[in-house]
Chain A
Amino acid sequence: MSLTVLTYLVVGASFALYIGIAFASKARSTGDFYVAGKHVHPVANGMATAADWMSAASFISMAGLIAFLGYDGSVYLMGWTGGYVLLALLLAPYLRRFGKFTVPEFIGERYYSDVARVVAVICLIVISFTYVAGQMRGVGIVFSRFLNIDIGYGLLVGMGVVFLYAVLGGMKGITYTQVAQYCVLIFAYTVPAVFISLQVTGVMVPQVAFGSEVAGGGYLLAKLDAIVTDLGFAAYTSGTKSRIDVFFITLALMVGTAGLPHVIVRFFTVPKVRDARASAGWALLFIAILYTTAPAVGALARLNLTTTIQTGPVGEETGNLPYEERPEWFKTWEETGLLTVEDKNGDGRIQYYNDANADFAAQAENFGWEGNELTVDRDIIVLANPEIAGLPDWVVALVAAGGIAAALSTAAGLLLVISAAVSHDLCKGVFWRSISERRELMAGRISAGVAILMAGYLGFNPPGFVAQVVALAFGLAAASLFPAILLGIFSVRINKPGAVAGMLAGLLFTVGYIIYFKGVVVEPFAADVAENWLFGISPEGIGGIGMLINFAVAFSVSALTREPPEEVKAMVRRIRVPR
């Protein structure tokens, strides 16, 4: 059976499973549609949260990103897991105790203000659409790469599947499909990782193999450090970003993660406060399985790739792989254009080194090298893993299904918070308070449908700034939603003017800083280099400063204006205690 047919079968079977689950868990009330009737078991919710959170970027791109960033890649590992500690300790239990449906609803009631609620809805929609565009793109790419069909058709199929289970089942439908999707994606991620670890180090567990000795002697990381520095790259275990930048990017990603509405809302779906606490732990456990495997995969892949090219001592002519002798997987990926070789010095061999390193230039010239000849798209690291390890075709098919599962599960979660914000916060909450439950449910389904169409459009015509706006999504969440919720729970004194002023200040500062350097829609105003940055903090890390500004403004304005009304204070005291 050919690989394409096998991939169709595996991906098709996974789709049939998701759709089957959707029909079995149709939403009958708004409670089902927004929060799965609050009947979700904490372990199931942990799995669903993990699938919700781990996007196409986590599954496809992260290991490759770390492979080329080395230590600097730690910002993603710590940032995207540390946020769960904040969620578990500072937000989830109290929001569950609050007991309503959406994040803007909490902000609106806590700050007794429709304005605050609408500001929260706007932040939520910007954050979620930014994110969802990337997911739909991921679905399209996996389809076109593994199933050889046009990206547009791939997108249509993906949209159709999400439409079925998100519109029919609402939160109830996506919860149980996300559980299934987690199982598919984690299996697809760990199986190739285990085999690669075995091949390179003889140890089965990737997390252990990461710190083990490789065949031929020496520890994996020591060997990797040695070979990449010999080729002019920064040592794998030390990285190149400044300490303060690493600090603030990690902070912004952690706080941003905790402030992402589609993640927060998952903790509204469990029956009790103590389930919300436990569920965050389960979620982190399920996420950690992938997040501790990814850096191991990254290091193994970087070593694999480097030693495939640099077969002997650096600088000797025979030390480099002749182009004619390149392995089979190399050829497959060359066909996709994601891996390219250009024989710049015409010696018939491949040189892979850091030609941007001025200190290394003289040495390279000495060797007769005339520039780096290999370019590798970071995204292929995970996708090519099974081929590099020589695993059977069904594993390759599984990885394709895993990538699609990761993208669909995240997209569905995002689309649902968007539709809930429109039907529950805007329709029911602000503009049409007398709407009946049946109509509200219909409004939720319609807005989910419209959101899917818009997401599909964004996936098909990705705006040029998608890569830039990911920083924006986390920065926004860190500077607006997270502080507003946190202060709403932990301070009784923060009032409406304080919270609204704080959100706007954090928002404007963060968005302004990112646009200033990244130029979303408009041209950047200054070069995005360390010399121009405030305190040496890159736009990716500025959300942390935005959060501090939000806190400062919210406290000062609240101190100067009237205390919140008694019933709001009572509400805050109520949600602090489980019963």
Chain B
Amino acid sequence: MKKSSHWGDNLRLVAICLVVWFVVSFGCGILFVDSLNRFSIGGFELGFWFAQQGSIVVFLLVIVAYVVGMAVIDRRHGVAESDEAPPDDASSHSDTDE
């Protein structure tokens, strides 16, 4: 029960992040670039800025939001990884070094 709602929260967060990802790049940078180019910030036409600078900056913020959001979701559902031992990998291979 708990796990399925963890997955639900996970999906919701991913969906929100992907909407932002799509809007800044495909939206502001490509589909609506001409309308946005009527505005400018500094020496940049706004649409051009989104296409060559802004989208990359927002991508970074989207990942940060996802990382922080997932940490909260993991904790809320009691599935956050412990700080000490790495999780047990279902791997049959030896991992002997160090």
List the interface of chain A (C-beta within 8 A of B).
27-32, 37-39, 66, 71, 73-74, 77-78, 81-82, 84-85, 88-90, 93, 97, 99-101, 207-208, 210-213, 219-222, 237-238, 243, 246-247, 250-251, 254, 271-274, 277-278, 280-281, 284-285, 288, 291-292, 295, 437, 573, 576-579
B55 to chain A, nearest CB (A): 5
Knowing A85-B59, A250-B30 are in contact, say whether A38-B43 is a contact too (CB < 8 A): no
Please name the 5 residue pairs, one residue from A and one from B, whose CB atoms are nearest each other, closest first.
A219-B43, A99-B89, A74-B51, A211-B42, A211-B43
* Most chain B C-beta atoms within 10 Å of own C-beta, residue among A78, A285, A295: A78
Digitize B13-25: 1 where CB-to-A-CB distance is under 8 Å, 0 elsewhere.
0100110010001
Partner of A31 from B10, B31, B55, B97 at Cβ < 8 Å: B97
- Could you tell me if A250 and B74 are in contact, using CB atoms closer than 8 angstroms? no
Question: Quick one: closest B residue to A172, CB to CB?
Answer: B97
B63 to chain A, nearest CB (A): 4
- Could you tell me if B87 and A273 are in contact, using CB atoms closer than 8 angstroms? yes
Partner of B97 from A32, A77, A85, A578 at Cβ < 8 Å: A32
How distant is the Cα of A93 from the Cα of B26 in the complex, in angstroms?
A: 25
A274: B residues at CB distance < 8 A: 67, 70-71, 74, 80-81
Knowing A29-B95, A247-B31 are in contact, say whether A277-B70 is a contact too (CB < 8 A): yes
B93 interfacial by beta-carbon distance below 8 Å: yes
- Could you tell me if A243 and B31 are in contact, using CB atoms closer than 8 angstroms? yes
- Could you tell me if A37 and B70 are in contact, using CB atoms closer than 8 angstroms? no
Question: Quick one: closest B residue to A80, CB to CB?
Answer: B56
Digitize B79-95: 1 where CB-to-A-CB distance is under 8 Å, 0 elsewhere.
11110001101110111
* Most chain B C-beta atoms within 10 Å of own C-beta, residue among A39, A82, A90: A82
How distant is the Cα of A442 from the Cα of B94 in the complex, in angstroms?
A: 15
Partner of A579 from B53, B56, B81, B97 at Cβ < 8 Å: B81
How distant is the Cα of A233 from the Cα of B18 in the complex, in angstroms?
A: 36
B37 to chain A, nearest CB (A): 7
- Could you tell me if A288 and B57 are in contact, using CB atoms closer than 8 angstroms? yes
From 50 to 64 in chain B, residues with beta carbon under 8 angstroms from any chain A beta carbon are 51-53, 55-57, 59-60, 62-64
Q: How many residue pairs, one in A and one in B, have C-beta atoms under 8 Å apart?
A: 176
How distant is the Cα of A90 from the Cα of B11 in the complex, in angstroms?
A: 10
How distant is the Cα of A78 from the Cα of B74 in the complex, in angstroms?
A: 30
Partner of B26 from A28, A211, A247 at Cβ < 8 Å: A247
Chain B: interface size category: 35 or more
B74: A residues at CB distance < 8 A: 274, 578
- Could you tell me if B3 and A82 are in contact, using CB atoms closer than 8 angstroms? no
B49: A residues at CB distance < 8 A: 211
- Could you tell me if B45 and A281 are in contact, using CB atoms closer than 8 angstroms? no
A285: B residues at CB distance < 8 A: 60
Partner of B86 from A78, A271, A278, A295 at Cβ < 8 Å: A271
B8 to chain A, nearest CB (A): 11
- Could you tell me if A579 and B64 are in contact, using CB atoms closer than 8 angstroms? no
Question: Quick one: closest B residue to A87, CB to CB?
Answer: B63
**9 extra interface residue pairs, beta carbon distance < 8 Å, beyond A82-B59, A99-B90, A576-B10:** A37-B98, A93-B70, A99-B87, A99-B89, A208-B42, A210-B44, A288-B56, A288-B57, A437-B93
How distant is the Cα of A238 from the Cα of B30 in the complex, in angstroms?
A: 11
B87: A residues at CB distance < 8 A: 97, 99, 272-273, 578-579
A206 to chain B, nearest CB (A): 10
Partner of B51 from A31, A77, A213 at Cβ < 8 Å: A77
B44 to chain A, nearest CB (A): 4
- Could you tell me if A295 and B52 are in contact, using CB atoms closer than 8 angstroms? yes
- Could you tell me if B93 and A29 are in contact, using CB atoms closer than 8 angstroms? yes
How distant is the Cα of A281 from the Cα of B64 in the complex, in angstroms?
A: 6
- Could you tell me if A90 and B14 are in contact, using CB atoms closer than 8 angstroms? yes
A28: B residues at CB distance < 8 A: 96-97
- Could you tell me if B43 and A221 are in contact, using CB atoms closer than 8 angstroms? yes
A292 to chain B, nearest CB (A): 6
Question: Quick one: closest A residue to B41, CB to CB?
Answer: A211
Knowing A31-B97, A273-B87, A277-B66 are in contact, say whether A85-B81 is a contact too (CB < 8 A): no
Partner of A77 from B7, B52, B70 at Cβ < 8 Å: B52
A82 to chain B, nearest CB (A): 5
- Could you tell me if A284 and B91 are in contact, using CB atoms closer than 8 angstroms? no
B15 to chain A, nearest CB (A): 10
A171 to chain B, nearest CB (A): 12
Knowing A247-B31, A284-B60, A437-B94 are in contact, say whether A213-B43 is a contact too (CB < 8 A): yes
How distant is the Cα of A400 from the Cα of B86 in the complex, in angstroms?
A: 40
How distant is the Cα of A222 from the Cα of B95 in the complex, in angstroms?
A: 58
A237: B residues at CB distance < 8 A: 37, 45, 48
B66 to chain A, nearest CB (A): 6
B31: A residues at CB distance < 8 A: 243, 247
Question: What are 20 contact pairs spanning A and B, CB under 8 A?
Answer: A27-B97, A30-B93, A31-B93, A38-B95, A39-B98, A73-B52, A78-B29, A81-B59, A85-B21, A101-B91, A208-B42, A219-B42, A250-B30, A272-B81, A285-B60, A288-B59, A288-B60, A292-B53, A578-B74, A578-B81
A85: B residues at CB distance < 8 A: 17-18, 21, 59, 62-63
How distant is the Cα of A88 from the Cα of B21 in the complex, in angstroms?
A: 12
B56 to chain A, nearest CB (A): 5
- Could you tell me if B93 and A38 are in contact, using CB atoms closer than 8 angstroms? no
A81: B residues at CB distance < 8 A: 55-56, 59
How distant is the Cα of A86 from the Cα of B82 in the complex, in angstroms?
A: 26
A461 to chain B, nearest CB (A): 37
B13 to chain A, nearest CB (A): 8
A221: B residues at CB distance < 8 A: 43-45, 48
